Amino acid sequence: MYAQLVINIEAPLETTFHYHMPGDLQQKLCIGHLVEVEFGRRLAQGIVVAFDDTAPVAETKPIIALIDPEPVIRSWQVALARWLSDYYLAPLNSCLRLLLPPGLTRWSDTTLEINPVWDGEGRVTKTQEAILAVLEEKGDMRGRQLKQALPKKYRKKWQKAANQLVRRNILLKGTVLEPPRVRPKKIRTAELVARPRDVWNASLNLGRANKQSDVLHYLAQSNDPLPAENDVLENTGAGEDHLTALEEADLIQRSPASTLLVPDASTAQVPEELQEAFEQLPALADSLAPEAVSAMEAGELVQVIEQPATVGLAVPRQEALRHIFELRNGHNYHAILELLRQVAQPLALSDIYAETDGSMYHLRRLEKQGLIRFGSEEVWRDPLADRDFVPTEAPQLTSDQWQVWEQIKEATDEARQEQIAPKPFLLHGVTGSGKTEIYMRAIEAALKRGEQAIVLVPEIALTPQTVRRFAARFPGHVAVMHSRLSDGQRYDTWRRARQGLIDIVVGPRSALFTPFNNLGVIVVDEEHDHSYKQAPPIPAPYYHARETAIEIGRLVRATVILGSATPDLVTYHRAKAGQYQLLELPKRVMGHRMRIEGQAKRLSVDSRYAHSEEDPEDTLSIPLPPVKIVDLRQELRAGNRSVFSRALQEAVDEALERDEQVILFLNRRGSHSFVLCRDCGEVLKCPSCDLPLTYHRANIALICHHCGRQKAQPEHCPQCGSRRIKYFGLGTEELESLVRQRWSDARVVRWDSDTTARHDSHEEILASFVKHEADILVGTQMIAKGLDLPLVTLVGVISADVSLGLPDFQIGERTFQLLTQVAGRAGRGLLGGRVIVQTYKPDHYAIQAAADHDYVTFYLEEIRFRTRHSYPPFRRLAKLLLIDPNNERGRKEAAKLAQALQQHRREKALSATEIVGPVPPFFQRIDGRYRWQILVRAPDPARLLRDFEVPRPWLVDIDPASTL
Ligand code: ADP
Ligand code: ZN
Ligand code: ZN
């Protein structure tokens, strides 16, 4: 038997490799196991994807070791990797790597040592001398360690120098696998093992010697509750002063030496005059009259007992113990022991440190005394661990929701019976139409069947809201997965899912690869969002999360629900063609009565939501907001040169007057605030990207939004030296300051990717706006996404057509989606609202349709345009991209490839396949490197490319999100 492995190395590998399994591994190995092997001449990780009776090569190498006793990949994931590789024309090993948690992948590193038989002969360079010196001193080292140990000036060329030494046999080279970056997090714990007696015994060995403590200890352990003072002093070696100190501290009680008189039983007659004294017996001699005492003694009426001075504890024993430790300066020991006694189970050391002032030193001493035992426990790094979620109950569905849900349920049950995958669903409904409730029903049903669910959201910024909502409905079941988590957190979430400890994962793209063993539902919310598509220049595969979700659904027979207010044109087209099942929720916004009424009360406003007859009691709804289009050309003609049209100004005034909130929306941050010389017309551009630099007021600097380069604000035109340099266009910062000028009494906040770069700041800014700590929110498209702003009654779109001029076939669709989503914002408030869209192209169908909330009309117009130009969905695209610092070389390479592709197309007689280009893309120069691209437009571009060797530096992007 042979194991077929995918080798996890950085270099792209299309195929699998066969290895044989040494005896003990034969039994253990399963599909999906991560193993260590030799690949070429170095060590590498491999993943078992199949077993074979034969191997295609005569001699196979053995598998060296199993890295993780549990499989890291499930068999459906192996199939998924093969599909990704085939569909996106990406190397199989990079597709499989996508499914591993970050940090588990280990690259091999070289080890270097001086050849022991080297005689020291031969000339070496300065760098080589330095390398030899380090190795001489430290013995063999890993490549990366060696580089770090070298003086800075030798680091740059160390590798080449070392390789020469290897070739001359002066150095010996080997390989190792780096240790993984993540491993399960173990915490050290301690627990109490001592019995109470052991603690008493040990108390005299901890801390500093102290006589007073010895006395307390003696008293506490003595059988006699009131031992004689002399015995105490003798046995403890303490002195009189120690007792005095203890007495002053109220820890002991001392009784002085005394004479006790007890009546003598043999006494016959008590004389009259002694009668009174005798009756007081037994008594201390001191308390009686001295004459009476001597008389009674003389008459042998009493027995005289001489009592020594005694000492006793004045506090309970447990308290005495504390004082013993304290007196010995060992209160930390006591605090630790006491804490562990109370919890009566192993406790994390960090908790012990937090609860006491103890340190590792104290713990070690306690362990030496045999009082505590150290241990370790695995903990999950869970980013949600410190959040509380208030559970909420599922509302009764509206009749529309019922209809939708019934269809999903029926189709799912049917598919289940026939053991096939249900057809994917496209759920089309405006924001607030109740889609999320449907997702939750589907997930609830899946959980009941013992299945798991994945909920995809397009952006990390949206994760917290979605997580909150799902966690509230399914407390204890939900985990998050996204790239802002630490490697450790992601690794642990991945492992919890592998072990079946969580059921629902919420997150962007990568949440798709959660290794569930019985996945029942995949939700792709906002399925039209293009951030679901990976794009160059990051490493391949450039997969689309929606398409991948559908494939996973097919593989594991899970229900896939795509949801959107503005479905992707291709998705909608497929649904119309019967490939997906189309579900519609009517065009109105809903709310839960309790939430709406609660909000209204909290904000002391009268909500305009109303209850409609056919809905359940708990549902309130409100119609979609009216949208007004303002023609900016007419504004100009009327002499209004401000960025705010008269209609918008009026509307803002009104809203502010009524103490309502306004959102002013600018398409894409800083897109137009470029710098222009009024004398020579020079536009200041990024020297690396050839794109206009944007002016940022906050930094007083010019910033390139493609490579992040910053330049100081110039005083003169670099071209002609003129001082007449002017900022044109509008960025969010500038809009913010214009708003402040025009509405000087209003409180203004800005929300864009500059202000939200910090981890939690988007939540903070929003929270403050929701609390009505600001009146006007100025922002970019980020505010178009799923959030709830109860007091917003006006959304102004400053310019709808910033992007309509860009040369990409999807621009109409993007504009429509954006405007619809923005308009959706205005519609969800308690007070209803309206939208004002400013544009230079009031007749454009995308703008018109968005204003009418009319997806279908937009779809029909757009599909007409797509048919006419053979764009998707009628043809599919593949983008071949070359990035080269040398523009001329790039152009030549591109021309060569285009020619070869044409040739290949003719040979394969693919008449419906077009090869467009090479052309420089719209964003031609990014980060100092030039781009060239070739578009393949065909019913299936992979048919042309699959058996065509695209040269290595070219990147192949199937179904690209943008052709710019
Ligand atoms: P979407 O996902 O389409 O944006 P949601 O599912 O978030 O829509 O619903 C919008 C609001 O309406 C939410 O506050 C939700 O709690 C509420 N809601 C949805 N369905 C119902 C229902 N059947 N009864 C009461 N409230 C509902
Ligand atoms: Zn100039
Ligand atoms: Zn740049």
Cβ atoms of residues 794 and 834 within 8 Å: yes
Residue 686: helix, strand or coil by DSSP? coil
Decide: 827 in ligand 1 pocket, CB within 6 A.
no
Decide: 587 in ligand 1 pocket, CB within 6 A.
no
682 Cα–ligand 2 center, Å: 5
Residue 388 scores a pLDDT above 80: no
Strand pairing partners for 141? 112
**Element at 141 (helix H, strand E):** strand 141-142
| Nearest-atom index, ligand 1, CA of 437 | 6
**Element at 229 (helix H, strand E):** helix 229-236
Q: How confident is the model at residue 669 (pLDDT cuts 50, 70, 90)?
A: very low
The reported pLDDT for the residue numbered 454 is 96
CA 958 to chain centre: 28
Residue 26 scores a pLDDT above 50: yes
Cβ atoms of residues 956 and 89 within 8 Å: yes
Q: Which ligand is nearest to the CA of 525?
A: 1
Taking only the tens place, the pLDDT of each residue in 887-922 is 888 888 888 988 889 888 888 888 888 888 787 776
The reported pLDDT for the residue numbered 178 is 63
The reported pLDDT for the residue numbered 698 is 58
Residue 68: helix, strand or coil by DSSP? coil
Is the bond preceding 537 in cis, omega lying within 30 degrees of 0? yes
Task: Indicate the DSSP class of residue 615.
Answer: S
Range in 25-34, 623-632, 634-643 with the lowest mean pLDDT:
634-643
The reported pLDDT for the residue numbered 627 is 92
Decide: 431 in ligand 1 pocket, CB within 6 A.
yes
Decide: 913 in ligand 1 pocket, CB within 6 A.
no
Cβ atoms of residues 362 and 372 within 8 Å: no
CA 114 to chain centre: 45
723 Cα–ligand 2 center, Å: 8
Cβ atoms of residues 587 and 433 within 8 Å: yes
Q: Which alpha helices (DSSP H) does 63-203 contain, by range?
A: 75-87, 92-97, 126-138, 143-149, 158-167, 196-203
The reported pLDDT for the residue numbered 403 is 94
Cβ atoms of residues 190 and 371 within 8 Å: no
Is the bond preceding 102 in cis, omega lying within 30 degrees of 0? no
Range in 98-112, 120-134, 400-414 with the lowest mean pLDDT:
98-112
| Mean pLDDT on 153-175 | 84
Q: How confident is the model at residue 160 (pLDDT cuts 50, 70, 90)?
A: confident
Range in 42-51, 698-707, 731-740 with the lowest mean pLDDT:
698-707
Residue 727 scores a pLDDT above 70: no
Whole-number percent of the chain with pLDDT over 70: 89
The reported pLDDT for the residue numbered 783 is 59
CA 316 to chain centre: 53
The reported pLDDT for the residue numbered 372 is 92
| Mean pLDDT on 147-160 | 86
Q: How confident is the model at residue 828 (pLDDT cuts 50, 70, 90)?
A: confident
Residue 685 scores a pLDDT above 80: no
Q: Which ligand is nearest to the CA of 726?
A: 2
Taking only the tens place, the pLDDT of each residue in 328-370 is 999 999 999 998 888 888 888 888 888 888 888 999 999 998 9
Q: Which ligand is nearest to the CA of 711?
A: 3
Gap between the terminal Cα atoms of the chain: 50
Decide: 106 in ligand 1 pocket, CB within 6 A.
no
Question: In whole angstroms, what is the distance from residue 447 CA to residue 470 CA?
Answer: 13
931 Cα–ligand 3 center, Å: 14
The reported pLDDT for the residue numbered 574 is 96
Decide: 427 in ligand 1 pocket, CB within 6 A.
no
The reported pLDDT for the residue numbered 104 is 74
Range in 538-552, 735-749, 922-936 with the lowest mean pLDDT:
922-936
The reported pLDDT for the residue numbered 671 is 44
Decide: 466 in ligand 1 pocket, CB within 6 A.
no
Q: How confident is the model at residue 181 (pLDDT cuts 50, 70, 90)?
A: low
Q: How confident is the model at residue 670 (pLDDT cuts 50, 70, 90)?
A: very low
| Nearest-atom index, ligand 1, CA of 430 | 3
The reported pLDDT for the residue numbered 282 is 80
Short-list 231, 107, 131, 238, CA closest to 180: 107
More confident residue, 109 or 153: 153
Question: In whole angstroms, what is the distance from residue 916 CA to residue 900 CA?
Answer: 13
* C-alpha dihedral sign at 718, 720, 721, 726: negative
Q: How confident is the model at residue 646 (pLDDT cuts 50, 70, 90)?
A: very high
The reported pLDDT for the residue numbered 707 is 61
Short-list 455, 454, 408, 426, CA closest to 568: 426
| Residue of 592, 593, 621, 820 with the most ligand 1 atoms within 8 Å of its CB, for mutation | 592
Retrieve residue 614's tokens: 């056919």
Q: How confident is the model at residue 527 (pLDDT cuts 50, 70, 90)?
A: very high
Decide: 615 in ligand 1 pocket, CB within 6 A.
no
Q: How confident is the model at residue 142 (pLDDT cuts 50, 70, 90)?
A: confident
Range in 338-342, 764-768, 830-834 with the lowest mean pLDDT:
764-768
850 Cα–ligand 1 center, Å: 22
Question: In whole angstroms, what is the distance from residue 958 CA to residue 876 CA?
Answer: 8
The reported pLDDT for the residue numbered 754 is 61
Whole-number percent of the chain with pLDDT over 90: 29
CB-count exposure of residue 200 (10 Å: 0-12, 13-18, 19+): middle
The reported pLDDT for the residue numbered 804 is 55
752 Cα–ligand 3 center, Å: 20
Q: What is the mean pLDDT of the chain?
A: 84
> What stretches of 798-853 adopt beta strand conformation (E)?
834-839
Whole-number Cα distances in Å, 236 to 139, 199, 232, 378: 59, 19, 6, 47
- Say what the pTM is: 0.74
Neighbours of ion ligand 3 (CB under 5 A): 686, 688-689, 704, 706-707, 709
Decide: 398 in ligand 1 pocket, CB within 6 A.
yes
| Nearest-atom index, ligand 1, CA of 401 | 23
Decide: 395 in ligand 1 pocket, CB within 6 A.
yes
For 483-522, the three-class secondary structure string (H helix, E strand, C coil) is CCCCHHHHHHHHHHHHCCCCCEEEECHHHHHCCCCCEEEE
Identity at 797, one-letter amino acid code: V
Decide: 508 in ligand 1 pocket, CB within 6 A.
no
The reported pLDDT for the residue numbered 774 is 92
Task: For tokens 């030798």, name the residue.
Answer: 154
Residue 877 scores a pLDDT above 60: yes
Q: Which alpha helices (DSSP H) does 537-687 contain, by range?
A: 545-556, 569-576, 593-602, 632-637, 646-657
Cβ atoms of residues 667 and 732 within 8 Å: no
Decide: 437 in ligand 1 pocket, CB within 6 A.
yes
Residue 47 scores a pLDDT above 90: yes
The reported pLDDT for the residue numbered 194 is 87
700 Cα–ligand 2 center, Å: 20
Of the spans 276-285, 313-322, 784-793, which averages the highest pLDDT? 313-322
684 Cα–ligand 2 center, Å: 10
Whole-number Cα distances in Å, 952 to 143, 370, 882, 883, 935: 27, 65, 10, 11, 17
Decide: 468 in ligand 1 pocket, CB within 6 A.
no
| Nearest-atom index, ligand 1, CA of 616 | 24
Identity at 287, one-letter amino acid code: S
Short-list 731, 755, 751, CA closest to 673: 731
More confident residue, 372 or 704: 372
Cβ atoms of residues 84 and 90 within 8 Å: yes
Residue 582: helix, strand or coil by DSSP? strand
689 Cα–ligand 3 center, Å: 4
Question: In whole angstroms, what is the distance from residue 779 CA to residue 750 CA?
Answer: 6
Question: In whole angstroms, what is the distance from residue 313 CA to residue 252 CA?
Answer: 4
Question: In whole angstroms, what is the distance from residue 620 CA to residue 100 CA?
Answer: 45
Task: For tokens 């199989």, name the residue.
Answer: 92
| Residue of 436, 443, 584, 618 with the most ligand 1 atoms within 8 Å of its CB, for mutation | 436
671 Cα–ligand 2 center, Å: 22
The reported pLDDT for the residue numbered 386 is 55
Q: Output the DSSP codes for 403-449.
A: HHHHHHHHHHHHHHHHTSPPPPEEEE--TTSSHHHHHHHHHHHHHHT
Taking only the tens place, the pLDDT of each residue in 490-502 is 888 888 888 888 8
Taking only the tens place, the pLDDT of each residue in 62-87 is 998 888 888 889 999 999 999 999 99
CA 149 to chain centre: 34
Pairing, β 425-428 against β 581-584: parallel
Strand pairing partners for 524? 456, 562
Retrieve residue 405's tokens: 């849900």
**Element at 468 (helix H, strand E):** helix 463-473
The reported pLDDT for the residue numbered 680 is 66
**Element at 453 (helix H, strand E):** strand 452-456
